[in-house]
Amino acid sequence: MKKIFFTPGPSQIFPTIPKHLKEALRKDILSLSHRSSRFKKIFYKTVDDLRQLLNIPKSHHIFFLSSGTEVMERVIENCVEKHSFHFVNGGFSQRFFETAIELKKVPFRHQVALGDGFDFDKVEINKKTELICVTQNETSTGVALDKKDIVLLKKNHPDKLLAVDIVSSAPYVNIDYSFADLVFFSVQKGFGLPAGLAVLIVSPEAIEKSKYLINKGVNVGSYHNFINLLKYADKGQTPETPNVLAIYLLGQVIKDMFKLGIRNIRKAIEKKANILYNFFEENNLYRPFIKQSRFRSKTVIVVEVKNGSSNIIKKLTNKGYIVGNGYQKFKDKQIRIANFPAHSLASVKQLLVYFKKYERQKNL
Amino acid sequence: MKKIFFTPGPSQIFPTIPKHLKEALRKDILSLSHRSSRFKKIFYKTVDDLRQLLNIPKSHHIFFLSSGTEVMERVIENCVEKHSFHFVNGGFSQRFFETAIELKKVPFRHQVALGDGFDFDKVEINKKTELICVTQNETSTGVALDKKDIVLLKKNHPDKLLAVDIVSSAPYVNIDYSFADLVFFSVQKGFGLPAGLAVLIVSPEAIEKSKYLINKGVNVGSYHNFINLLKYADKGQTPETPNVLAIYLLGQVIKDMFKLGIRNIRKAIEKKANILYNFFEENNLYRPFIKQSRFRSKTVIVVEVKNGSSNIIKKLTNKGYIVGNGYQKFKDKQIRIANFPAHSLASVKQLLVYFKKYERQKNL
Contacts of A70 in chain B (CB under 8 A): 66, 223-224, 240
Residues B133 and B250 placed together within one structural domain of the fold: yes
- What is the C-alpha to C-alpha distance for residues A215 and A292, in angstroms, rounded to an integer? 46
Q: How far is A145 from chain B (nearest CA, A)?
A: 23
Closest residue of chain A to B21, computed from CA coordinates: A21
| Residues B173 and B315 grouped into a single domain | no
**Does ipTM come in above 0.85?**
yes
Percent of chain A with pLDDT over 90: 97
In this structure, the answer to whether residues B48 and B143 fall within a common structural domain is: yes
Distance from CA of B18 to the nearest CA of A (A): 7
The three-point CA angle A74-B210-B147 to 5° equals: 100
Q: Domain count of chain A?
A: 2
Query: pLDDT per position in chain B (364 positions), as tens?
Result: 899 999 998 999 999 999 999 999 999 999 999 999 999 999 999 999 999 999 999 999 999 999 999 999 999 999 999 999 999 999 999 999 999 999 999 999 999 999 999 999 999 999 999 999 999 999 999 999 999 999 999 999 999 999 999 999 999 999 999 999 999 999 999 999 999 999 999 999 999 999 999 999 999 999 999 999 999 999 999 999 999 999 999 999 999 999 999 999 999 999 999 999 999 999 989 999 999 999 999 999 999 999 899 999 999 999 999 999 999 999 999 999 999 999 999 999 999 999 999 988 887 6
What is d(CA A312, CA B101) in angstroms, rounded to the nearest whole number? 54
Are B239 and B267 members of one domain? no
| Whether pTM exceeds 0.90 | yes
Are residue B162 and residue B37 in the same domain, yes or no? Answer: yes
Domain boundary, last residue among B227, B259, B291: B259
The answer to whether B303 and B287 have CB atoms below 8 angstroms apart is yes
Nearest CA in chain A to B342: A31
| A104 interfacial to chain B (CB closer than 8 Å) | yes
Residue type, B7: T
Q: A308: left (phi > 0), else alpha (psi -120 to 50), else beta?
A: left
Those residues whose C-beta lies under 8 Å from the C-beta of residue A60, and which sit 6 or more positions away, are A177, A201, A202, A203, A204
- Cα–Cα distance between A163 and A184 in angstroms, integer? 8
Question: Cis before residue A10, ω within 30 degrees of 0?
Answer: yes
Judgement on whether residues A71 and A126 belong to the same structural domain of the protein: yes
Contact at 8 Å (CB) between A302 and A277? no
Q: Which domain holds residue B29?
A: 17-259
- Say whether B164 sits in a helix, a strand or coil: strand
Question: CATH code at A270?
Answer: 3.90.1150.10
Residues 12-71 of A with CB under 8 A from B: 12-13, 17-18, 21, 25, 28-34, 66-70
**pLDDT tens sequence across B100-139:** 999 999 999 999 999 999 999 999 999 999 999 999 999 9
Residues A24 and A138 in one domain: yes
Question: What gap in Å lies between CA A268 and CA A259, rounded to an integer?
Answer: 14
Say if residue A241 is in the same domain as residue A282: no
Do B209 and B352 lie in a common domain?
no
A116 and A208 in a single domain? The answer is yes
* Chain B from 231 to 290: CB within 8 A of any A CB: 239-246
Burial B231-265 (b: 16+ CB within 10 A, else e): ebbeebbbbbbbbbbbbbbbbbbbebbeeeebeeb
From chain A, pick out residues whose CB is under 8 angstroms from the CB of B222: 72-73, 76, 98-99, 102-103
Please identify, among A228, A258, A288, the residue that sits at the C-terminal boundary of a domain: A258
Shared-domain flag, residues B247 and B279? no
Same domain, A344 and A254: no
**A112 vs A109, A118, A120, CA distance in Å?**
10, 8, 12
The last residue of one of the domains, among B211, B236, B259, is B259
Distance from CA of B240 to the nearest CA of A (A): 6
